[in-house]
């Protein structure tokens, strides 16, 4: 066992693989300022076995311990008693380990985490494997006829097992701490710290209709400003290219005759532009010949698959993007299809594909999204410009990259689990809103969206925004809703909530970057000792002061909210809550503020451009309180060399006091006043 840093321990057995995601990413851990912690295991407690077809590692477990994590899982939160085989796949149908973004890192409620340094598809089994025993070791015979009792097995295995098929050795990193959150923070710091997106990235992204031309894009953008619906980013779908799928990465001049002029106009109206693409390159792409020999041996959608594990490929790709897009004012990308699926032919390369850098298809699937994110991230760092882009696959080590994951799937319950599960694994996820089946569904989805890591309204299938017509077919036929004005107002109000929460949200993202503390947190991550939350799949924390309980968009059914100890104040109704409550029906999404919290809220603006932003602080159910905001330029990586301010805000006896300390010369927030929310 080798100590890598405070509370971080490396253990290795057998013959190691040549590479892991971390060697390829060149990960540089960020300094951990907290106290050291001892490894929760002694070396002899960890049992390594070499099998004919792979290696197995077993870790002991105590009785009341529960397990979480392994990436962006949609189907379950608590993984105790389950087995998952981590495989990149965009169409998970059950809790089997298929995911857009599996991460071989799990945490325990005992306050530690374990990361496997591998690009293989690892299998994790949490207390569900039991080796055969002698009759004398078994319990009494019993007769069970009730199905529930039958499935409620009292056979809990006594270990966590990690199996790596085909491997001859295994390397793991153990993250120790006082609690589960410590372990996650340490993992994120080990990866280089959490992502700090550009401030505009915390606003709203609207993705235009797939068939939109230059005029339609500019008109859409104008409508936002005309109707006062907040929007910071405009996204273009595949149609901006001359060829897709695979991709030419060349502008379609028929639809966009003055493409760069359009980008300029959008920038002048404070929209940041985001371009859809994927990295399977068509023979009409200018990079095709150069990258042909540096690609895998299988095609995808008649395109080559460049090997992004090679530094020169990343450089060539990034330079092309710099020349063609970034230098022209395009800030972000939606990096699509870098996951895989079993459903359609030639969706992706096969597991037995070979890449020149030495990986096979199985490994490349696990790595591709993260390597692409790194490609863009490194370029952005060279340009000293922060960003917030989208990607459809990520894996281990992705914490520092400002990329939000998204999906073509749409079950609202799964989307909420996405927010919750992403928090264990250094991932950011957007429960994007598209067309809907009803007005109610649209509103419910938007409510969840604004309280998620990234806000994306993805209208790639509908020419008009969903608040003008949520029904896809009618929208495409141009049949707009009669009540569209009223619905636009309702949606504007919900989206404006996002803009109001910016100062708080930005502070939480800052803490994610500096300390690795996730912005959104699963309840068992925030309250690992509260057994009521061990199975919680429908509420989560935003920072430490706000509890979010979405109402299911598919059913609008009533639901129970469980409150952590103490009193919570309803954000909308200013009522006091404790213990449990039931919400639903006509009530808005559950948003509760911890009693005594000082919540800084901005004046809702159309976009994040005007600075400093006027902020009012609200003392929830108390006559005094304190909080901290962070200030920097909101757009460069200068904060990494200390160019930011910590703005301490204190409220007492009706008076507000602020103290700003740090190396940033400017001002991001203008504290305009304070209010007490009396309950």
**CA nearest 660: which of 649, 651, 674, 676?**
649
- Binding flag, residue 339, ligand GAL (CB under 6 A): no
Contact 457, 208 (CB under 8 A): no
Judged by DSSP in three states, 184 sits in: helix
Contact 630, 507 (CB under 8 A): yes
Of residues 207 and 386, the one with the C-beta less far from ligand GAL: 207
Of residues 205 and 262, the one with the C-beta less far from ligand GAL: 205
CB of 283 to ligand GAL, least distance (A): 20
CB of 79 to ligand GAL, least distance (A): 26
Residues with Cβ within 8 Å of residue 172, at least 6 apart in sequence: 10, 11, 12, 57, 114, 115, 116, 117, 162
Query: What span, in angstroms and rounded, lies between the C-alpha atoms of 17 and 167?
Result: 7
CB of 479 to ligand GAL, least distance (A): 23
Query: What span, in angstroms and rounded, lies between the C-alpha atoms of 492 and 457?
Result: 12
Of residues 276 and 592, the one with the C-beta less far from ligand GAL: 276
Which strands form 123-126's sheet, in the order they lie side by side?
47-51, 54-60, 159-165, 123-126, 83-85
Cis peptide before 538 (omega within 30 of 0): no
Residue 493, CA distances (Å) to 222, 448, 526 in order: 19, 13, 29
CB of 390 to ligand GAL, least distance (A): 9
Of residues 214 and 237, the one with the C-beta less far from ligand GAL: 237
Of residues 243 and 506, the one with the C-beta less far from ligand GAL: 243
Of residues 235 and 570, the one with the C-beta less far from ligand GAL: 235
Residues with Cβ within 8 Å of residue 482, at least 6 apart in sequence: none
Residue 314, CA distances (Å) to 18, 280, 366, 378, 674 in order: 20, 14, 17, 9, 49
End-to-end CA distance of the chain: 54
Touching ligand GAL, residues 453-472 (CB under 6 A): 458, 460
CB of 157 to ligand GAL, least distance (A): 38
Instruction: Name the DSSP class of 21.
Output: H
CB of 238 to ligand GAL, least distance (A): 5
Q: How many residues bind ligand GAL (CB under 6 A)?
A: 9
Size of the chain in residues: 679
Of residues 188 and 246, the one with the C-beta less far from ligand GAL: 246
Touching ligand GAL, residues 275-294 (CB under 6 A): 276
CB of 398 to ligand GAL, least distance (A): 18
Strand partners, 541: 521, 547
Exactly one of 71, 238, 418, 426 binds ligand GAL (CB under 6 A); that residue is 238
CB of 461 to ligand GAL, least distance (A): 8
CB of 236 to ligand GAL, least distance (A): 10
Judged by DSSP in three states, 543 sits in: coil
Judged by DSSP in three states, 239 sits in: helix
- Binding flag, residue 237, ligand GAL (CB under 6 A): yes
CB of 281 to ligand GAL, least distance (A): 16
Of residues 108 and 241, the one with the C-beta less far from ligand GAL: 241
The two structure tokens encoding residue 653: 């006896």
Burial class of 226 by CB neighbour count within 10 A (0 to 12, 13 to 18, 19+): exposed
Exactly one of 307, 336, 441, 606 binds ligand GAL (CB under 6 A); that residue is 336
Query: What span, in angstroms and rounded, lies between the C-alpha atoms of 54 and 452?
Result: 39
Burial class of 591 by CB neighbour count within 10 A (0 to 12, 13 to 18, 19+): buried
CB of 407 to ligand GAL, least distance (A): 7
- Binding flag, residue 178, ligand GAL (CB under 6 A): no
**CA nearest 277: which of 130, 392, 426, 437?**
392
Residues in contact with ligand GAL, shown as a per-residue x/- string from 249 to 278 under the rule CB under 6 A: ---------------------------x--
Exactly one of 36, 312, 342, 408 binds ligand GAL (CB under 6 A); that residue is 408
CB of 17 to ligand GAL, least distance (A): 31
Residues in contact with ligand GAL, shown as a per-residue x/- string from 356 to 385 under the rule CB under 6 A: ------------------------------
Judged by DSSP in three states, 108 sits in: strand
Residue with tokens 């696959």: 393
Give the start-end residues of each E strand in 187-231: 204-207
Query: What span, in angstroms and rounded, lies between the C-alpha atoms of 537 and 539?
Result: 6
Of residues 277 and 632, the one with the C-beta less far from ligand GAL: 277
Of residues 389 and 458, the one with the C-beta less far from ligand GAL: 458
Of residues 100 and 294, the one with the C-beta less far from ligand GAL: 100
Of residues 210 and 228, the one with the C-beta less far from ligand GAL: 210
CB of 467 to ligand GAL, least distance (A): 19
- Binding flag, residue 194, ligand GAL (CB under 6 A): no
Of residues 131 and 344, the one with the C-beta less far from ligand GAL: 344
Residues that bind ligand GAL (CB under 6 A): 210, 237-238, 276, 336-337, 408, 458, 460
């Amino acid at each position: 066992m080798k100590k890598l840093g405070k509370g971080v321990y490396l253990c290795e057995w057998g013959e190691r693989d040549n590479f892991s995601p971390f060697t390829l990413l060149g990960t540089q851990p960020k300094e951990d300022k907290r106290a050291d912690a001892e490894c929760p295991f002694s070396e002899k407690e960890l049992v390594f076995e070499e099998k004919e077809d792979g290696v197995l590692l077993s870790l002991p477990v105590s009785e009341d311990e529960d397990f979480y994590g392994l990436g962006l899982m949609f189907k379950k939160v608590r993984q105790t008693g389950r087995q998952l085989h981590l495989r990149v796949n965009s169409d998970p149908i059950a809790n089997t380990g298929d995911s857009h973004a599996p991460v071989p890192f799990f945490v325990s409620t005992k306050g530690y985490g374990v990361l496997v340094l591998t690009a293989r598809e690892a299998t994790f089994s949490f207390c569900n494997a039991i080796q055969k025993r002698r009759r004398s070791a078994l319990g009494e015979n019993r007769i069970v006829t009730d199905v529930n009792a039958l499935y409620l097995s009292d056979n809990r295995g006594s270990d966590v097992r990690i199996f790596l098929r085909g491997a001859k050795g295994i390397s793991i990193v153990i993250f120790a701490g006082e609690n589960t959150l410590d372990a996650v923070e340490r993992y994120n710091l080990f990866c280089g710290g959490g992502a700090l997106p550009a401030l505009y990235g915390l606003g709203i992204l609207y993705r235009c209709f797939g068939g939109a031309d230059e005029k339609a894009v500019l008109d859409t953008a104008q409508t936002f400003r005309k109707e006062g619906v907040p929007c910071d980013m405009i996204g273009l779908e595949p149609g901006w290219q001359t060829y897709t799928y695979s991709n030419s990465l060349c502008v379609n001049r028929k639809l966009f005759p003055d493409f760069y002029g359009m980008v300029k106009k959008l920038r002048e109206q404070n929209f940041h532009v985001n371009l859809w693409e994927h990295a399977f390159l068509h023979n009409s792409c200018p990079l095709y010949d150069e990258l042909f020999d540096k690609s895998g041996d299988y095609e995808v959608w008649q395109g080559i698959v460049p090997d992004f594990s090679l530094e020169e490929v990343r450089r060539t790709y990034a330079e092309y993007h710099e020349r063609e897009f970034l230098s022209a004012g395009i800030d972000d990308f939606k990096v699509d299809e870098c996951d895989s699926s079993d459903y359609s032919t030639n969706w992706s390369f096969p597991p037995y594909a070979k890449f020149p850098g030495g990986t096979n298809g199985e490994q490349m699937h696990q790595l591709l999204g993260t390597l692409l994110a790194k490609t863009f991230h490194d370029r952005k760092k060279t340009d000293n410009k922060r960003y917030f882009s989208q990607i459809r696959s990520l894996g281990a080590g992705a914490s520092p990259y400002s990329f939000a994951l998204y999906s073509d799937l749409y079950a609202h319950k799964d989307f909420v689990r996405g927010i919750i599960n992403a928090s264990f694994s250094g991932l950011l996820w957007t429960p994007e809103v598209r067309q809907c089946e009803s007005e109610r569904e649209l509103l419910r989805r938007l409510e969840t969206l604004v309280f998620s890591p990234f806000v994306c309204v993805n209208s790639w299938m509908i020419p008009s925004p969903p608040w003008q017509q949520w029904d896809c077919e009618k929208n495409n036929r141009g049949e707009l809703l009669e009540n569209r004005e009223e619905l636009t107002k309702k949606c504007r109000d919900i989206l404006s909530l996002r803009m109001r929460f910016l100062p708080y949200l930005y502070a939480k993202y800052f803490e994610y970057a500096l300390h690795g503390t996730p912005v959104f947190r699963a309840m068992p991550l925030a309250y690992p000792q509260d057994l009521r939350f061990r199975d919680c799949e429908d509420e989560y924390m935003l920072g430490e002061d706000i509890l979010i309980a979405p109402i299911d968009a598919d059913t609008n059914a009533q639901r129970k909210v469980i409150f952590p100890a103490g009193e919570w104040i309803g954000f909308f109704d200013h009522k006091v809550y404790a213990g449990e409550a039931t919400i639903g029906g006509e009530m808005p999404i559950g948003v509760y503020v911890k009693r005594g919290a000082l919540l800084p809220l901005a004046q809702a603006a159309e976009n994040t451009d005007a600075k400093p932003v006027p902020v009012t602080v609200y003392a929830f159910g108390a006559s005094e309180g304190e909080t901290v905001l962070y200030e920097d330029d909101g757009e460069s990586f200068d904060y990494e060399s200390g160019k930011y301010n910590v703005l301490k805000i204190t409220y007492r006896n009706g008076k507000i006091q602020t103290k700003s300390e740090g190396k940033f010369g400017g001002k991001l927030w203008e504290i305009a006043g304070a209010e007490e929310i009396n309950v």
